Amino acid sequence: MIKKNTPKERRIILKHADDPKYSNKIGCYLKNDGYSMFEEGVEPGFLPG
């Protein structure tokens, strides 16, 4: 019954959810570019405020 052309998961939000090496600590998040969008965002004029 399993078809070869069934789409694969596209994990955006759950990208790290089942990675045993990924922890929920901030150090791990920062190593994976965490908070980079927020850092850019607080630059004046980046977001409609």
Subset of 1-49 contacting other proteins (CB under 8 A): 1-3, 6-7, 9-14, 16-18, 22, 24-26, 29-30, 34-35, 37-42, 47-49
CA 49 to chain centre: 24
| Structure-block tokens of residue 10 | 């596209």
CB of 45 to other proteins, least distance (A): 12
Do 41 and 49 meet the contact criterion of CB atoms below 8 Å apart?
A: no
Q: How far apart are CA 49 and CA 47, in angstroms?
A: 6
- By the criterion CB under 8 A, which residues form the site for other proteins? 1-3, 6-7, 9-14, 16-18, 22, 24-26, 29-30, 34-35, 37-42, 47-49
